Amino acid sequence: MADILNISCYKFIPLPDAAQLRETLLERATALALKGTVLLAEEGINFFLAGPAQAVRGFVDALRQDPRFADLNPKESWSRTVPFRKMLVKVKREIIRMDHP
């Protein structure tokens, strides 16, 4: 039975506080024992997360408390095992690589 919820989502939204947000999201994801990657940049957020459904949905619900993320609508899929080895939250130049100089 597939009991691991996998989600992916991105949103282009100004995040001038990306560095501070990184710490908050890493603490929250770690406390929920989630695995995956969250990319933050001044242009927005992009994430791929996996874990028990209640934990994953709890993370998204908490993220939606920030008005900038209230309309997030992650894509969901299910798996038997967690497809990620660790939890990473990184601040990058861009959330989706466009190969623009």
Angle at 21 between CA 18 and CA 27, to 5 degrees: 145
What would the two tokens of residue 40 be?
A: 């933050």
Task: Note whether residue 85 is domain-resident.
Answer: yes
What would the two tokens of residue 7 be?
A: 């989600």
By C-alpha distance, which of 51, 53, 45 is closest to 89?
45
Q: pLDDT, tens digit, for every residue of 20-67?
A: 999 999 999 999 999 999 999 999 999 999 999 999 999 999 999 999
Cβ–Cβ < 8 Å for 75, 7: yes
User: What is the total count of domains within the chain?
Assistant: 1
Task: Note whether residue 67 is domain-resident.
Answer: yes
DSSP reduced 3-state for 15? coil
- List the domain range (segments joined by +) for residue 9: 4-89
What pLDDT band is residue 95 in, cutting at 50, 70 and 90?
A: confident
Task: Note whether residue 83 is domain-resident.
Answer: yes
What pLDDT band is residue 2 in, cutting at 50, 70 and 90?
A: confident
Cβ–Cβ < 8 Å for 55, 32: yes
- pTM (predicted TM-score): 0.91
Task: Note whether residue 95 is domain-resident.
Answer: no
Q: For residue 11, what is the domain's CATH number?
A: 3.30.70.100
